[in-house]
Amino acid sequence: MASPLPSRFGDLPLLIGGHAVPSQSDQWLPVHSPLDQRLLARVPCATGDEVELAIQSAAEAQRSWSQVPAPERARVMMRFAHLLKEHHDELAELLAQETGKTLADAKGDVWRGIEVVEQASGVASQMMGETLGNVARGVDGHSWMQPLGVCAGITPFNFPAMIPLWMFPLAIACGNGFVLKPSEQDPLTPMRLAELFKEAGAPDGILSVIHGKGEQVDRLLTHPLIKAVSFVGSARVGAHVYRTATQHLKRAQCFVGAKNHMVILPDANKSQVLSNLVGAGVGAAGQRCMAISVAVFVGAARDWIPELAEAFRAVRPGPWNDEGAAYGPLISQGAKARVAGLIEAGVREGAECLVDGRSVEVPGYPEGNWMGPTLFRGVTTEMGLYREEIFGPVLACMEVESLEQAIALINANPYGNGTSLFTGSGAAARHFRHEVAVGQVGINVPIPVPLPFFSFTGWRGSFYGDLHAYGKQAVRFYTETKTVTERWFDDESAVGPNLTITLR
């Protein structure tokens, strides 16, 4: 059993030089419980001097860490993965308290992060270079993958365990230092991850954690010691991060907006379609970049929409420790107001609201950021419901006559994060996965998030950059290649006066 969590976590420190450092900031942000607006903690906006110290600390630690043999760095990741598993339930409860996620969802958040740390434990084989003997007469060629220096990560509220664990373990396993700026809305879980990382044997300073908002992010993006930036968040902020980082000659990978479509053919298994649509549409309160927000019914499959509406009406949100709750509250009052506004706009623009979740109530939590499951029909591409990433438990139903029309609809959307097709036809599935212009495709799988030995590969307006998260692409992102061309002479004039070489 996990130990009881405190009801108030106090003022959060920064992590600099391997130590918790009280911030001298005069600007603090409240961390509120999404369930009841209770104050959980206060988080500082790090001062300029504190950000500088965090970066310098990571840079100093990186100089010696980069010389540690790759197998030894991997063993730190193995110990870290072990500690994360030991503290899995504790982390999940902490995460659930500050995000509002159900406990089952929070456990999944933690576990998907652990899987990436396990991947980082194999860094030695992933960093192996290439060798070719006799690229010319008597000349050999080699390539080595070496660390960049100090990297930075800017992570969102919706996965406060998984997404930081996408970033800093792989970057550090590759020999880099790292500065993490987690979301100010739920910083407790990332701080606990950092504590466990230190306990696993990570050297002091190799991971710094700072807190804040835009000002602190910009300091990271413009600092000359930061060589690469990883970001997950909104399209608007992601565009700023990418432009600023690249203008300052840094590598950047920015995972941003999404509008994920699930296509349903009439030959699909109806019960599987309905249950998967409900889970993919409202799970985690729709606050995930791989949520299905558009269901595209092809031909006669449109007849299933009334049954989908009944399934939506049966779903209820609730607190994190309610085993019967399908999902929890939205992260903030502002998020709730935004989702409610988009629902209102959809009604005003003429979409048919089959299930309206705006008036949902959860007994005992009148102040919670609740939004009930919401289902629309008759949505068109001109409506805000379709154009905007809602990030709430809202599903828009659209109807087309053919698979080709469904593919054309998806490919015309500016985003290309994830998509899925439900069908019983192998030929249709093959055609879909070849023709759809989306980076992550599921066949009878609603949310096709790849396991970490692949990479998270959003396309088009869902990703700014060249190399994606985790897997082999992340190792390439966090390293640079050195090519060595080598020749040794075999005549005695090349031998120093105190050396003897016998050639045979």
Active site residues: 289
131 contacts: CB under 8 Å, gap ≥ 6 = 140, 141, 142, 143
Which of helix, strand or coil describes residue 28?
strand
Q: 277, exposed or middle or buried, with CB in 10 Å at 0-12, 13-18, 19+?
A: buried
Tell how far CA 89 is from the center of its chain. 21
Q: Measured between alpha carbons, how far is 389 from 391 in angstroms, rounded to an integer?
A: 6
Which H/E stretch holds residue 188? helix 188-199
Residue with tokens 């558009």: 294
Q: 333, exposed or middle or buried, with CB in 10 Å at 0-12, 13-18, 19+?
A: middle
CA neighbor of 230 nearest in space, from 173, 284, 187, 182: 182
Q: Is the dihedral of CA 337, 188, 458, 438 positive or negative?
A: negative
Q: Measured between alpha carbons, how far is 408 from 422 in angstroms, rounded to an integer?
A: 17
Residue 119 in contact with residue 148, Cβ under 8 Å?
no
Residue 275 tokens read as 């249950």
Which H/E stretch holds residue 181? strand 177-181
Residue 218 in contact with residue 244, Cβ under 8 Å?
yes
Residue with tokens 């001298």: 24
Residue 375 φ/ψ, nearest 5 degrees:
-130, 130
